[in-house]
């Protein structure tokens, strides 16, 4: 290659590089887009908030369980069942609470109902046959008795002092495995639940696990006081952690009557009822949106004698405000047989007042 050719090539490359650098200098250099508000929320002085007080530890359940467990018993019943294949013995397990040192035990009516034989096992392992003192299907409560003395018994608390969120323990013969305990909180108060056509009132709803065999056992507060008797659990595929206990305030007077008289007597007005709420009031074009709607008046009952009719809405009974059926049932049950009570009710657009003399609830 000649020197003249090489020199021309060098000059050509130099010119090309110069043109490329010049073109590059003319091209804008891209940069990331700038946000107008990129610094809007910046706070150079920010820091984490001060640490809160140390988290409250869970309560120690052990001393409560140790105090209550000796008064909790396991109940086993035997019932003879007849079928096409003959007779067989059916066993039901439940729990109970020693209510004094003389052998009286509170439990559920459905635990001992129709039982031919009842056996009670104490926490110390001793076993006794038991006899029924009295039962009450309306409240699902019963009292049985064993022939023993100097027994450890439970102390009863005031369920009206309970608050939603309060810790409670359910203690009993879960799954027939003997004494056990589960913990939870109070979820709701004064709950009404319909069980096989019978409505239980004044129930405590709890997240404490309640299993077969727990029925009749105590629900206790953190002072070791019985504030309920476990009774019902809602069982469904989409439901979890919903159990109920009969409150001590509902249970204590019934247990007292069962021990003293062997049965419970209830005042009776003689009406069928339905709760009035805003949706029902709108659907039926009622003049009030609360109260107890009368859907049936029993012939010759106190309600019939006093002049109450179907479609009347009771809004006050014996000085107590009535917002629903549970309010009215509780007001009637806390009245006395033979007592004359004032009743305020709505008939159409008018508010009327009458009085009715309550009688003992018929047995059938």
3-state SS assignment for residue 141: strand
Q: Where are the beta strands (DSSP E) in the chain?
A: 72-83, 86-98, 104-108, 117-121, 127-136, 141-146, 167-172, 180-195, 198-206, 218-220, 226-233, 243-247, 267-268, 271-276, 291-297, 313-317, 320-321, 340-347, 350-357, 359-360
- Residue 43: active-site member: no
Tokens (6 digits) for 94: 């439940």
Catalytic residue among 140, 249, 312, 327: 140
3-state SS assignment for residue 328: helix
The β-bridge partners of 220 are 169, 226
Question: Which of 169, 124, 117, 126 has its CA nearest to residue 144?
Answer: 117
| Helix locations, 94-207, DSSP H | 109-112
Question: Which of 93, 257, 119, 102 has its CA nearest to residue 178?
Answer: 93
Catalytic residue among 74, 95, 159, 215: 215
- Residue 277: active-site member: no
DSSP state string for 218-285: EEE-TTS-EEEEEEEE--BTTB-S-EEEEEHHHHHHHHHHHHHHSS---EE--EEEEEE-HHHHHHHT
Tokens (6 digits) for 213: 């065999």
State how far the Cα of 35 lies from the Cα of 321, in Å rounded to an integer. 64
Catalytic residue among 95, 110, 187, 248: 110
The DSSP call for residue 348 is T
Surface-to-core class of residue 14, CB atoms within 10 Å of its CB (0-12 exposed, 13-18 middle, 19+ buried): exposed
State how far the Cα of 21 lies from the Cα of 19, in Å rounded to an integer. 6
Question: Which of 272, 230, 229 has its CA nearest to residue 251?
Answer: 229
- Residue 140: active-site member: yes
> Which amino acids are annotated catalytic?
110, 140, 215
């Amino acid at each position: 290659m000649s020197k003249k050719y090489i020199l021309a090539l060098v000059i050509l490359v130099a010119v090309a590089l110069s043109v490329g650098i010049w073109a590059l200098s003319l091209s804008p250099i891209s940069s990331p887009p700038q946000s107008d508000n990129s610094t809007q929320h910046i706070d150079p002085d920010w820091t984490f908030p001060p640490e809160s007080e140390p988290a409250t530890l869970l309560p120690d359940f052990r001393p409560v369980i140790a105090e209550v467990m000796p008064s909790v018993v396991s109940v086993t019943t035997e019932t003879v069942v007849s079928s096409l294949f003959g007779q067989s013995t059916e066993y039901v397990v439940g729990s109970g609470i020693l209510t004094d040192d003389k052998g009286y035990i509170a439990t559920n009516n459905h635990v001992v109902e129709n039982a031919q034989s009842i056996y009670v096992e104490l926490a110390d392992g001793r076993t006794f046959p038991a006899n029924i003192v009295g039962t009450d299907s309306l409240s699902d409560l019963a009292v049985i008795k064993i022939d023993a003395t100097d027994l450890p018994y439970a102390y009863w608390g005031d369920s009206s002092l309970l608050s939603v969120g309060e810790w409670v323990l359910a203690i009993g013969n879960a799954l027939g495995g003997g004494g056990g305990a589960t913990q939870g909180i109070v979820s709701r108060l004064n709950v009404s639940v319909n069980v096989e056509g019978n409505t239980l009132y004044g129930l405590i709803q709890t997240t404490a696990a309640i299993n077969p065999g727990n029925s009749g056992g105590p629900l206790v507060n953190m002072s070791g006081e019985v504030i309920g008797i476990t009774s019902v659990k809602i069982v469904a595929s989409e439901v979890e952690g919903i159990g109920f206990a009969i409150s001590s305030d509902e249970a204590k007077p019934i247990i007292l009557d069962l021990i003293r008289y062997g049965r419970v007597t209830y005042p009776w007005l003689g009406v069928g009822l339905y709760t009035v709420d805003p949706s029902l009031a709108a659907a039926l074009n009622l003049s009030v949106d609360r109260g107890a709607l009368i859907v049936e008046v029993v012939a010759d009952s106190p309600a019939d004698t006093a002049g109450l009719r179907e479609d009347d809405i009771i809004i006050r009974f014996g000085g107590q405000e009535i917002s629903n059926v549970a309010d009215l049932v509780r007001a009637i049950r806390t009245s006395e047989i033979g007592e004359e009570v004032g009743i305020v009710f709505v008939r159409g657009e008018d508010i009327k007042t009458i009085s009715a003399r309550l009688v003992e609830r018929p047995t059938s």
